[in-house]
Amino acid sequence: MLKVKDLHKSYGPVNVLKGVNIDFKPGEITAVLGPNGSGKTTLLKSILGMVIPQKGAIMLDGASILGNWQYRDKIAYVPQIANFPGNIRVEELIRMIRDIRPGAGAYQELAETLKLTPFFKKKLSALSGGTRQKVNLVLAFMFDAPLVILDEPTAGLDPVALIILKDLIAEQKARGKTILITTHIMNLVEEMADKVVFLLDGTVYFHGAVQELKEHTGRDHMEKAIAAILEKSYA
């Protein structure tokens, strides 16, 4: 269980998070959505320990994460953009991460599933964006972490790799993981998300099931529901 309680974060005079309260439950996929500047990136970075909030608490399995870096071993994280050292080969990077971080499982089968094995001997600087994203996925999913955070995980993936990713996410859900995902692909949200958190101007505008969001906005598609929220906020 991941609990975010009364979270506040400001950068100078700008209030980015304004008392955010969210419970993320095991075995659920929650899509964290919102326009640029809504606070979703700051929320994720706070959960990851990359941003320190001025007020509030983040609890993972009943324990506060503040000042407790060891909790990060319980997180599998796919960043939107990963800055890999370009002179390292793919398999060298994977092995290095396995040596640094405890709890990694075998990665060969996962790499084969993602069609990454043929690139093992290539340097990271020579990879396409989609192949680099596959490296991200292997680095995250080779750890059996109870909390999975996916920040735009579909970036650069071809249709076949996207299907594989969906299967991996579904497998993690079936194993009772708590999964957070940010994405601009609303079809992915409709297909996979159990809950939606929509942040607007640093506050939780909506938290509930996809169907509830459609009913809340009076729209029958996610794209239209999101557009209705934004139109109302800009009015």
Pick the CATH number of 2-234 from 3.30.470.30, 2.60.40.2130, 3.40.50.300, 3.40.50.720: 3.40.50.300
pLDDT reported for residue 234:
66
C-beta separation of 173 from 27 below 8 A? yes
pLDDT at 40: 92
Between 22 and 99, residue with greater pLDDT:
22
Which residues, 6 or more positions from 125, have their beta carbon under 8 angstroms from its beta carbon? 86, 87
Q: Greatest CA span in the chain, whole angstroms?
A: 54
* pLDDT tens sequence across 49-87: 999 999 999 999 889 998 888 898 899 999 887 788 889
pTM above 0.75, yes or no: yes
Per-residue model confidence as pLDDT tens digits over 182-226:
998 999 999 999 999 999 999 999 999 999 999 988 998 888 888
What ranges do the domains of the chain cover? Answer: 2-234
